[in-house]
């Protein structure tokens, strides 16, 4: 869930989108290796690889505001979308996320768990429809 938020934060900084923009941003929003094609894309967006590395480093340390995160979790819960606690645990352990009481309940298993696949599927579907219009 937080990786998706980071990807959207990065996507907002892009001045030109293509059919791979969201995928590139999702990969860049994690600590995985970035493909050569994605690197070329980000260099074209940021002007240099050094500028992108600086932006990515800051992005990987960022998390949504606790109130925003809690609101998203509540919305997901109302809509039947489950949240994977492993991602939240990793963020807390890395020191990036100070858990709210709601996040603590999820981590401790006191709140129903769900999976992140439905919101991403909707997002991919949305961007797929945009691609069809081009």
Domain identity same for 53 and 71: no
Q: Are 82 and 54 in contact (CB under 8 A)?
A: no
Global pTM value: 0.76
Kindly report, residue by residue over 40-65, the tens digit of the pLDDT: 999 999 999 999 999 999 999 999 99
49's tokens: 């690889």
Q: Which helix (H) or strand (E) holds 36?
A: helix 36-46
The span from the CA of 24 to the CA of 21, in Å, is: 5
Q: Tell which of 12, 37, 60 closes a domain.
A: 60
Distance of alpha carbon 107 from alpha carbon 92, whole angstroms: 10
3-class DSSP assignment, residue 114: coil
Domain count across the chain: 2
Same domain, 73 and 127: yes
Whether 97 and 43 map to the same domain: the answer is no
The per-residue pLDDT string of the chain (134 residues; one tens digit each, 9 = 90 and over) reads: 899 999 999 999 998 999 999 999 999 998 889 999 999 999 999 999 999 999 999 999 999 999 999 999 998 888 888 788 888 998 999 899 999 999 999 999 887 654 444 444 444 444 444 444 44
For residues 117 and 98, state if they share a domain: yes
Residues 56 and 74 in one domain: no
Nearest to 63 by CA among 101, 106, 94: 94
Domain of residue 72, residue span: 66-133
Domain termination site, one of 19, 36, 60: 60
């Amino acid at each position: 869930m937080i990786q998706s938020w980071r990807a959207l934060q990065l996507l907002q900084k892009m001045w030109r989108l293509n059919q791979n923009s969201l995928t590139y941003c999702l990969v860049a929003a994690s600590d995985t290796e970035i493909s050569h094609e994605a690197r070329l894309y980000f260099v074209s967006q940021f002007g240099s690889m050094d500028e992108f590395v600086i932006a990515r480093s800051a992005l990987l340390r960022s998390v949504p505001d606790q109130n925003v995160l809690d609101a998203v979790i509540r919305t997901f819960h109302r809509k039947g979308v489950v949240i994977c606690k492993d991602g939240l645990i990793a963020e807390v352990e890395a020191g990036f996320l100070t858990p709210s009481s709601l996040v603590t309940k999820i981590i401790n298993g006191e709140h129903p768990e769900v999976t992140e696949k439905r919101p991403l599927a909707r997002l991919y579907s949305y961007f797929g429809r945009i691609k069809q219009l081009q």
